Structure 1
């Protein structure tokens, strides 16, 4: 169904499904039990998915199913069955992240519309165009894309564009976060994010001092506010966006109903009259009441700095209800001066200055000594609470009982809320069947006839009033009678049961008619060629001696790596010292590596926003004068831009989440010559992938892995006055870390584009296991050395060169003295544990 603008709602349960549809969504997105990026939602089994699709399609609402996780090679057979099921069940589109899933879907369900999930980190026009050319029908843009860039992308592409408009924000670019994975083994890329961004952190300096101790800042320094764009709906619609997406598959159905209903009315207001578009005060209040961490429009209108962060509370803060006037410890009574209405069964939260928070459900309350069921703004209300509070403490209403009841009315009545209007014509004549014809507002028709032949009435002939009484009984169907036309010839008798049966048959027919346009022909079941190929690939070992690559961001680091045995230098991309890497430096790095008769790969920025594209293309143009052995890319847009400018090999980095062989085959088809496997692969997965890989493979073996890359910068936001327009760049004057509850420290670095990178405080070290990479056929191993100083690079590079040469015969391994070069601040990453 083509709509002017689509309102897309999140669904994680049956009640949420009904809530979304009945409150006005044009489309919903949900997941089955597998392969969805919200594995902890209730989600739907196959029978539930079929029912959900039928329920939505009956109401002209589309169903998009998320299949947006990374997939292990061993899971593709099951995935193939699941994709066929989704196609035949009538899903309108699938959202995908994994390029291997894309390859498989194109093979076995070629007519299924593909939507690029926000997990694909698409953030510029070129990335959109690549996916457009690959046959995608829609791209969900990264949440970091500005309104200006959204407008530019929509104007210069033919594909549908979807953007998030409301709900929780990730602080890291979606699809690029390893924090949950590395810390707790629960991978966001596999749908099991543990949300470490919602935990408390302290910003500390090199001495371990809390640099925000005396600042007006909380401890939740990685916890963004919730997105709210209700006031920006006109701009988003005029920008050319196709689909407006609400986040919240983990949210309760009341949340879905409230948010969808609010945005539905906002969109309809704009479409009815652009000039008269208004947002009622209660609409914003309801959005805040149902759930908020305070609100932000994120990056749509610039970088809000600290005002994008919910640094004082990572969960629902509700609506400010009032302040404490007094508290009596003996009776536990508190008097509150109200700013908002308060009702019985509401839940309030006291923000206590000392000792945390106090939560209370309102069971009874007094105003002027009189028991009341509700209190108004400016009333002084007395309630009993379980713990002590203090004068002037703020009080928030975190649960509004009456609003929740209104929200539940969208899904708990058992009858449709939004009905389809229908005209019904009834005809009856002696000697003929009784006929019911239904024509709905969309033009669909259903006809039902009785087997019974109408007879001459002896006592009570049919009347319009009697017929109406039966015909109006549309009950739990989606239809509602608008006009009834009765054509009764003579004194006719037809039993009531027969009238009801004719009505039922007419309804069944019109329902089939409404669903027919969504019906697909059964698929021809053939084994997917990509899976056949995987089975036939050689299982023989590809034992090799890996080359050693060292990733650096300065010439001095490159020189030390070369002097101590590096075979490859990966130079440039994003610097860890906030300094621009110039064309001259790339040329100097190239000349230096050539003087050592080694190989060089030029790195690219992990994120390439629209404002960077022009300078990036100039850089590529310059590379034509000193062509490197390869260029390392981080997203699909860069593959195309590099191919257009430089005739050299292209290497896909770990940020492209290469987790299986079908992804590698897909990248090869795009012109990629080698890949870095995802750091979330364990050794068994690495071995399985490498032995079947159609491209050379690389694994990261050492360094402080990047856990997050973010447009948000904690230092600039809380120390550099970023929100005032110009950052004072405190990151260039000192080094900072996030310290968590367990006193683990995570280094923070900012690149030349003012993005913050959160690094793992524990150094990945695979010294004693280097020989295994050669045994299983990995072509290249990599030291992530940007965070190292030149002396550290020399030591680490030299040691890996020794381990590569001597293998298990290295004395540090043979004599079990590996601890002499490692400390307790090292990790083996996922090589021996994998991810959930």
Structure 2
């Protein structure tokens, strides 16, 4: 059965989702979820929500899907342990460190890979399965053929989004909000700067980063046939009436094995839309028509009032069967069985011989079927009533009530799952030596003989660029070149990627910079030395330990951390810091360059301007994707004393828009020669608190 998963950003939204037909709800508890601005549940409210859902046969998924510092992990571990004790059905995670903690404190609680983990191909899904995860929430950008391929070959459940807001960037890879505003989407506080005005030619006169909301109305049966296990509705920041309207429409469509009607789609739009909906990612038909903004419209008062009236009453969702036995000289027996096979039996008074009118089977069945106002819906009553007996109808009512109370107690019992304690493990001393220098480039043309002669320890070159320019291996010293794997590579891109990996391996390249879990299996299978890049979101010591367990020898620390936080991380393996360059802000499946011009123009200079006049270069990413870079270059050459003794293995210079000569000048400056510095620069987030 296709599961419908609804958002629950408040206790009232829990009621709205459940009463409107959700099979499961997802909600945050505390400060460790990707919607920290949603109304937080108190401990009492959260426990009550779990019981409320479980009583009505609805699962509860806890969102612990943000990046966490080492100081936050113990508190998050207690949240996980507490929720495991309450019987939460699964927990969603982004942070590999948090996943490691969960294995310690709640080893039996199922773990789902959040969409924030950026899993978008079969290798990534299989890796999650190998680690013990039971479900993956796929990236929202995937097309129908990619979802179908993954479902057909996945060893675990696949969940996809079916309705709600679309991020412009792949979830878990967006740094726009944190870098320009200090509020991290990876920490649950995205300020949604993508919804603001941007433009080209120096004018912020449009909204090229604001996608319409997704709606998969019209594709429900297709997704079910593919083998998708769960359809997810976005909207923990939305009001309960919205949750009810959207949930009820999709729930009816799934139950009746159909697509939403035209009238229902109109109701979806009335509840919330941004100039309509899009299914462009799913249909692989991308373009300007996918974009829209929220317009000022009147609140659909009548629709929302109907929704409130519906979800504020008990809709008797749980089917039950009653059994009764009324025999002379024996206590009256009533049993009730739910759809999971739980049976509760209760005994009542002994019936007497009838003086006038005897109790009939029909009367017993009628009384036991009166479950209105409860979570239960009587589907069937089987009663054995012998002739000539009398029993007050009130006694039957009491037996029905007592049986249902017993069943309710059974339904909300949490499972007997193991719990454990969080142990951070051994603390590793920081390296004493100053970090070595590494370099990454966007284009092979940035790698000159002069640059290589300056002897950076490693030069990371994108896979496609290195495969197309084998001459670089002739210029470089043995072991100096490394291949940088794409952050995003769909399964249909895999054959070409594998062929290119074979090419660069034949050139003598031994090191691979891995930006996504889905790139790990092929690189490991080919014997590359694995190095983790910023796309893996390394935020704490536990994440480093998890990557070391997976075979990595180094990892790039998140540039959303302050230098003091990086210093305090226990480092079980070599760590790298991005010390120069235009920080990546967004990687996008939808090509905003082509949306603007109607043709591919990646090789040209493309600059996006915001409402304050800041200019953000837009460059080509592997797979004909777009990447937005920061308007200012990160520059720390004059701050090396601040990070030279915080335990780093390497400092990386990230070259993106620089020409070959500039690359040499920057490297020389970081080697202590020359006085080059960018005209305008930033210190990034290394000295700022990020929420």
Q: Normalising by structure 1, report the TM-score.
A: 0.77
Alpha-carbon separation, structure 1, partners of 2:58 and 2:638: 56
Alpha-carbon separation, structure 2, partners of 1:491 and 1:165: 56
Decide whether aligned partners of structure 1 residues 152 and 462 sit closer, same or farther in structure 2, where only a CA change above 3 A counts.
closer
**Equivalent residue in structure 1 for 2:271, among 273, 283, 290:** 290
* 3-state SS of 1:41 partner: coil
Alpha-carbon separation, structure 2, partners of 1:669 and 1:12: 35
**Contact in 1 for aligned 2:163/2:232 (Cα 8 Å):** yes
**Contact in 2 for aligned 1:554/1:571 (Cα 8 Å):** no
In the other structure, the counterpart of 1:445 is: 343
Deviations 1:650-683 (A, max 9, x none): 1100110000111111111111010110010111
In the other structure, the counterpart of 2:287 is: 305
In the other structure, the counterpart of 2:61 is: 64
Alpha-carbon separation, structure 1, partners of 2:120 and 2:32: 23
**Contact in 2 for aligned 1:138/1:161 (Cα 8 Å):** yes
Alignment gaps of 5+ in structure 2: none
| Superposition map of 1:35-184 within 5 A | 35-184=32-181
Alpha-carbon separation, structure 1, partners of 2:663 and 2:209: 30
**Contact in 1 for aligned 2:7/2:236 (Cα 8 Å):** yes
**Equivalent residue in structure 2 for 1:783, among 653, 664, 668:** 653
**Contact in 1 for aligned 2:318/2:338 (Cα 8 Å):** no
**Equivalent residue in structure 1 for 2:634, among 764, 770, 791:** 764
State the Cα distance separating 1:97 from its structure 2 match. 0.8
**Contact in 1 for aligned 2:367/2:393 (Cα 8 Å):** no
* 3-state SS of 1:409 partner: helix
Deviations 1:607-634 (A, max 9, x none): 1112221111111112232223521111
1:581 paired with 2:465, answer yes
Of structures 1 and 2, the larger Rg is shown by 1
State the Cα distance separating 1:110 from its structure 2 match. 2.0
**Contact in 1 for aligned 2:8/2:17 (Cα 8 Å):** yes
**Equivalent residue in structure 2 for 1:795, among 665, 668, 688:** 665
Paired residue total: 689
**Contact in 2 for aligned 1:10/1:248 (Cα 8 Å):** yes
In the other structure, the counterpart of 1:653 is: 533
Alpha-carbon separation, structure 1, partners of 2:609 and 2:327: 80
In the other structure, the counterpart of 1:406 is: 306
* 3-state SS of 1:437 partner: strand
In the other structure, the counterpart of 2:554 is: 674
Which of 297-306 and 679-688 deviates more?
297-306
**Equivalent residue in structure 2 for 1:12, among 9, 16, 40:** 9
Which of 292-301 and 171-180 deviates more?
292-301
Which of 32-41 and 794-803 deviates more?
794-803
**Contact in 2 for aligned 1:564/1:794 (Cα 8 Å):** no
In the other structure, the counterpart of 1:537 is: 427
**Equivalent residue in structure 2 for 1:546, among 431, 435, 442:** 435
**Contact in 2 for aligned 1:8/1:243 (Cα 8 Å):** yes
**Contact in 2 for aligned 1:599/1:629 (Cα 8 Å):** no
**Contact in 2 for aligned 1:549/1:566 (Cα 8 Å):** no
State the Cα distance separating 1:420 from its structure 2 match. 2.6
State the Cα distance separating 1:454 from its structure 2 match. 6.0
1:239 paired with 2:226, answer yes
Alpha-carbon separation, structure 1, partners of 2:419 and 2:303: 50
| Superposition map of 1:208-287 within 5 A | 208=202, 219-270=206-257, 277=258, 279-287=260-268
Deviations 1:753-812 (A, max 9, x none): 321111110211112221222212211101111221223222221111107xxxxxx9x8
Deviations 1:473-525 (A, max 9, x none): 645421234556473765646594x5554333211222234445xx3225354
Deviations 1:554-581 (A, max 9, x none): 444222762673523433227xxxxx62
In the other structure, the counterpart of 1:28 is: 25
Which of 620-629 and 711-720 deviates more?
620-629
In the other structure, the counterpart of 1:215 is: none
Alignment gaps of 5+ in structure 1: 211-217, 271-276, 318-348, 350-396, 575-579, 721-727, 804-809, 813-819
Alpha-carbon separation, structure 2, partners of 1:482 and 1:713: 53
Decide whether aligned partners of structure 1 residues 467 and 643 sit closer, same or farther in structure 2, where only a CA change above 3 A counts.
closer
1:623 paired with 2:504, answer yes
In the other structure, the counterpart of 1:612 is: 493
State the Cα distance separating 1:447 from its structure 2 match. 2.4
Decide whether aligned partners of structure 1 residues 623 and 483 sit closer, same or farther in structure 2, where only a CA change above 3 A counts.
closer
1:203 paired with 2:200, answer yes
* 3-state SS of 2:280 partner: coil
* 3-state SS of 2:690 partner: coil
Decide whether aligned partners of structure 1 residues 737 and 613 sit closer, same or farther in structure 2, where only a CA change above 3 A counts.
same
1:520 paired with 2:415, answer yes
* 3-state SS of 1:73 partner: coil
In the other structure, the counterpart of 1:389 is: none
Q: Normalising by structure 2, report the TM-score.
A: 0.93
Greater RCO structure (CA 8 Å; 6+ sep): 2
In the other structure, the counterpart of 2:517 is: 636
Alpha-carbon separation, structure 1, partners of 2:338 and 2:648: 63
